[in-house]
Amino acid sequence: MSTLSGEITRLRRYLRDPDGNVWSDDLLLDLWAEVSHDLQQRTRVLETATGINIAPSWPASILFEWEWAYMGKSRAHRALRPQQGYTVSAVWETQQYAGLTPSSSETGTMYTHPWEAFEISPAEPPYWPLPHDFGTMRAAYHDREPIVPVRREEIRTDSTWKTHAGEPWAYIPEEGERSFTLYPRPSAKWVDDAGEGPIQYVDGDPDGVLASTAKNVTAITNANPGVVTAATHGFSTGDIVYFDANIGGMTDVQENSYTATRVGDDSFSIGVDTTTYGTYTSGGTVSLVESHDSGTITYGDTTFTSSEGVGLSWVPEDDTIFLYYRQRPPEPQGWGDDAVWPSFLLKYVRYGVLARAYRANTDGRIPSLASFWGERYQIGVKAVERYALNRISAVRRGLRMPRRPQKRLPKLPSTYPQRV
């Protein structure tokens, strides 16, 4: 995926403001975010798919009520019940503190992290976080089987809906929480931190699924390209490999992925110049990434790559929730961020930014140029809308069964007698 770094240069060339004396980087970045949201809202062209591990994992949970405000005020992070002066985990504890007879109506155990719900009989169903760029759901699947959205009110006829385990057939969106839960709750077991099991997700670039066996790194050279020593690594040329956070000295490679080129049974190069990196000292592991978000798609005589807006992602078929959704362009934090738009659509976002920049109340305000670029942006919106419609039509045609052409008979004049 390309970054926005080249776009700021192009914008400044069109604006004839190379040093940012009129339009600051922050202003142009805000305009970029505005146009991105406008274009997606009007065309809904950005769509993607992702796989989510069955046992949900959140980055943190809270222990005290005041922490709630610092966790995005999401109930999915709340491990414990509201309290004043004390901390409780279940309803009966609150009743006990209040001097009431504890009720047996609440069954199950409270958990601190959602994945723990798969090791106990939970009092609440676990919640799954939606992707950060999630907009609207197009389709959802659990282990290749479709699941449908339902409202919580629709399943409350089942008195055990909170603890009911089984094969999920529905998901319950949590309004305003950017999370969802499955009904019934899947009974799959959690894969522990040691990697004992079929899935272990990691963060990095690219995202993917690590092989369960990591190889110990004993050396990394400062060379072009850098060569890594890891005994009997088993990697082949072209494999994507991932370095953990324990690489000593050469911090540049920590939690990053590279394309390996096999040198020997115990060494491989990583295809980047490491001469300016820190000197490797000790420690760390490297693992094979079994799936990644890059690749090519060949259609007819044309080959598309991930840099052209086509992302490939392989997800495990078992113990996985597969989401297909329309994206919500994330707020860019800087011009080094990834460009969520395919390369052939970036120019339309650029047109919109130029129109807004020339219309802004600055020393560079030129209404005629704002109108010029605004018209080009509107033409681009129409082009993207047609592209989106054609893409949907192509998918639908791909799903249709071909019809056998019917033989057309000559039509007789109306004066002829009709056969009955």
Query: Please, what are the domains in the chain?
Result: 5-45+334-398 (no CATH), 211-288 (2.40.30.180)
CA angle 338, 341, 343 (to 5 degrees): 95
Q: What pLDDT does residue 359 have?
A: 95
Task: Supply 214's token pair.
Answer: 């990591």
Q: In which residue are the tokens 């494999």 written? A: 239
Strands (E), 143-210: 145-146, 148-149, 170-174, 179-183, 201-202, 208-209
Average pLDDT over residues 278-287: 90
More confidently predicted of 360 and 179: 360
CA distance 226 to 334: 29
- Whether residue 177 contacts residue 198, with contact meaning beta carbons closer than 8 Å, is answered with no
Out of 84-93, 211-220, 349-358, 407-416, give the one with best mean pLDDT. 349-358
Average pLDDT over residues 399-413: 44
Does residue 31 carry a pLDDT above 90? yes
Task: Supply 164's token pair.
Answer: 């009911």
CA distance 401 to 75: 46
Q: Which parts of 277-345 fold into alpha helices (H)?
A: none
Does residue 348 carry a pLDDT above 90? yes
Name the packing angle between helices 25-43 and 346-359 (round to 10°).
Answer: 120
Q: What pLDDT does residue 99 have?
A: 64
Provide the pLDDT confidence category of residue 14 given band limits of 50, 70 and 90: very high
Provide the pLDDT confidence category of residue 268 given band limits of 50, 70 and 90: very high
b/e 291-322 (16+ beta carbons within 10 angstroms → b) = bbbbeeeeeeeeeeebeebebebebbeebbbb
Q: Nearest-CA neighbor of 186 among 142, 222, 156?
A: 142
Average pLDDT over residues 10-32: 93
Average pLDDT over residues 330-341: 86
Q: In which residue are the tokens 């209404």 written? A: 367
Task: Supply 343's token pair.
Answer: 């390369």
b/e 140-163 (16+ beta carbons within 10 angstroms → b) = bbbbeeebeeeeeeeeeeeeebbb
Does residue 43 carry a pLDDT above 70? yes
CA distance 382 to 387: 9
CA distance 257 to 207: 9
Q: What pLDDT does residue 100 have?
A: 60
Q: What pLDDT does residue 36 have?
A: 94
Does residue 389 carry a pLDDT above 70? yes
CA distance 287 to 260: 11
Lowest model confidence (mean pLDDT) among 91-100, 237-246, 345-354: 91-100
Question: Distance between terminal CA atoms of the chain?
Answer: 66
Q: Which residues pair with 325 in a beta bridge?
A: 48, 137
Determine which helix (DSSP H) or strand (DSSP E) holds 348, and give its type and residue range: helix 346-359
Question: Which residues contact residue 317 at a Cβ distance below 8 angstroms, ignoring those fewer than 6 apart?
Answer: 143, 144
Q: What pLDDT does residue 112 have?
A: 66
Task: Read off the pTM.
Answer: 0.58
Does residue 247 carry a pLDDT above 70? yes
Residue type, 223: A
Does residue 372 carry a pLDDT above 90? yes
Average pLDDT over residues 241-250: 88
Does residue 277 carry a pLDDT above 60? yes
CA distance 255 to 32: 29
Does residue 380 carry a pLDDT above 70? yes
CA distance 407 to 314: 45
Question: Which residues contact residue 165 at a Cβ distance below 8 angstroms, ignoring those fewer than 6 apart?
Answer: 184, 185, 186, 187
Count of beta carbons in the 10 Å neighbourhood of residue 289: 20
Portion of the chain with pLDDT greater than 90, in percent: 27
Q: What pLDDT does residue 155 have?
A: 84
Does residue 302 carry a pLDDT above 70? no
Q: Nearest-CA neighbor of 128 among 212, 56, 54?
A: 56
Provide the pLDDT confidence category of residue 71 given band limits of 50, 70 and 90: low
Q: What pLDDT does residue 292 have?
A: 44
Strands (E), 168-309: 170-174, 179-183, 201-202, 208-209, 215-216, 219-220, 227-229, 240-243, 257-259, 261-264, 267-269, 285-288, 296-299, 302-305
Provide the pLDDT confidence category of residue 298 given band limits of 50, 70 and 90: very low
Q: What pLDDT does residue 64 have?
A: 63
